[in-house]
């Protein structure tokens, strides 16, 4: 078996093997990521997009964490992220740096980017002294509470408060109270909507690997075969073993995305029937051929489901135009369709509870 090796060749210099690392996504909320990161680094800078005008690479609220040696997450890449990282490192290295810094960048003139917009960044220095309030905020976040973090900056000092939900406040709001006073209000809303995947075969495993890296959904992954549900899954994936998966579907919260791809056509049908009868699913996709789709739809109609209800079933699943049937290719097509449905949908639902009725293989606890 031949092995391909890549080398970096510098003009006039010797070839050397690359030694970089994969860029890490910001899995989950920045609150949880910062708390975890501070267990390994004494200091870090949180960089957040707080305002923009015109076209920009990321939306308000997009965050990244910068430590002395690396980054987690992204605010859009390119020159914007390179400049933000350099500024954050300066803040880390300067013992007299202000704890919060606002940076206003015009993407064209300042950075040479063609987006044409203007971005305001919030750079906040966090240390292990911040762990108590980060822990309290993480607990409220996991509890599904839409409380608000108020970060006040006055006279070179920063403080944080957890406030009851402010219903009339946008998810992220920067207030300039005076020349030397700022307030940032952030609603503690978990951004990832619930996604329940039934089936842990080849395509199911490929899909979960892909979606876990995207870190865009709270995934409940259900299969009766414990040996097919791997250990060591990311925090946003709850793997649950159930001998009767269709009995779990009613426990999903309203607005859940469902993907059905089990090893059993009879189980696939029962899951689709139960999910469609709920009438509150955000989206339902079923793996299978056009003939399987036609048989399922005909049977669902005979059992009394309305035509409009049956029409909500997406089968065959996945975007069109991808001829490969390899599991990884199918997973890409399904993930793309999920992202399309998310972009066309309404507001995200509340976080999904664990689907397990028995012990959860991810957390080891019982609901």
What would the pLDDT profile of 303-315 be if each residue is shown by its tens digit? 999 999 999 999 9
State the sign of the Cα–Cα–Cα–Cα dihedral 347, 350, 355, 357.
negative
CB 123 within 8 A of CB 103: yes
Per cent of the chain over pLDDT 70 is 83
CB 276 within 8 A of CB 310: yes
What would the pLDDT profile of 65-98 be if each residue is shown by its tens digit? 999 989 999 998 788 889 999 999 999 999 999 9
What would the pLDDT profile of 157-181 be if each residue is shown by its tens digit? 999 999 887 655 567 899 988 777 9
CB 107 within 8 A of CB 117: yes
What would the pLDDT profile of 206-220 be if each residue is shown by its tens digit? 999 999 887 788 899
**Alpha-carbon distance values, 344 to 255, 275, 288, 340 (Å):** 13, 20, 24, 6
Between 300 and 54, the more confident residue is 300
Query: Which pLDDT band, with edges at 50, 70 and 90, does 354 fall under?
Result: very low
Classify 194-344 by CATH class: alpha beta
Instruction: Count the Cβ atoms, other than its own, within 10 Å of residue 271.
Output: 26
What would the pLDDT profile of 238-254 be if each residue is shown by its tens digit? 899 999 999 999 989 88
Domain ranges for the chain, please list them. 30-187, 194-344
- Identify the pLDDT of residue 360: 40
Cβ neighbours of residue 87 closer than 8 Å, sequence gap 6 or more: 101, 103, 121, 123
- Identify the pLDDT of residue 6: 56
CB 185 within 8 A of CB 169: yes
DSSP alpha helix (H) spans, the chain: 30-37, 78-93, 107-111, 131-142, 202-214, 265-278, 290-302, 307-310, 327-344
Structure tokens at 153: 């900056």
């Amino acid at each position: 078996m031949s092995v391909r090796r890549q080398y970096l060749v510098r003009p006039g210099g010797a070839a050397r093997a690359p030694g970089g690392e994969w860029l890490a996504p910001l899995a989950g909320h920045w609150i949880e990521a910062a708390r975890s990161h501070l267990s390994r680094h004494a200091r870090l800078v949180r960089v957040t997009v707080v305002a923009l005008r015109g076209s920009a690479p990321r939306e308000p609220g997009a965050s990244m964490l910068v430590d002395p040696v690396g980054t987690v997450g992204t605010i859009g890449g390119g020159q914007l992220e390179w400049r933000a990282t350099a500024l954050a490192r300066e803040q880390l290295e300067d013992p007299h740096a202000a704890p919060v810094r606002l940076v206003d960048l015009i993407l064209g003139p300042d950075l040479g980017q063609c987006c044409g917009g203007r971005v305001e960044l919030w750079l906040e220095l966090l240390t292990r002294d911040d762990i108590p309030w980060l822990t309290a905020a993480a607990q409220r976040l996991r509890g599904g509470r839409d409380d608000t973090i108020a970060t006040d900056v006055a006279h070179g000092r920063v403080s944080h408060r957890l406030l009851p939900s402010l219903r009339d406040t946008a998810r992220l709001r920067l207030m300039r109270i005076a020349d030397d006073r700022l307030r940032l209000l952030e609603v503690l809303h978990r951004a990832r909507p619930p996604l329940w995947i039934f089936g842990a075969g080849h395509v199911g495993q490929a899909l979960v690997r892909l979606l876990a890296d995207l870190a865009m959904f709270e995934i409940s992954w259900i299969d009766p075969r414990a040996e097919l549900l791997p250990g060591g899954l990311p925090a946003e994936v709850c793997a649950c073993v159930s001998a009767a998966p269709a009995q779990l579907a009613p426990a999903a919260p309203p607005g859940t995305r469902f993907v059905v791809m089990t090893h059993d056509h009879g189980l696939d049908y029962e899951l689709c029937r139960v999910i469609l009868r709920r009438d509150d699913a955000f989206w339902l996709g079923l793996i299978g051929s056009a003939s399987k789709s036609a048989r399922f739809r005909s049977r669902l109609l005979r059992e009394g489901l309305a035509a409009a209800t049956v029409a909500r079933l997406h089968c065959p699943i996945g975007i069109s135009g991808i001829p490969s049937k390899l599991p990884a290719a199918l997973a890409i097509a399904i993930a793309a369709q999920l992202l399309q449905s998310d972009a066309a949908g309404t507001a995200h639902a509340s976080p999904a509870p664990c689907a397990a009725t028995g012990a959860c293989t991810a957390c080891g606890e019982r609901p």
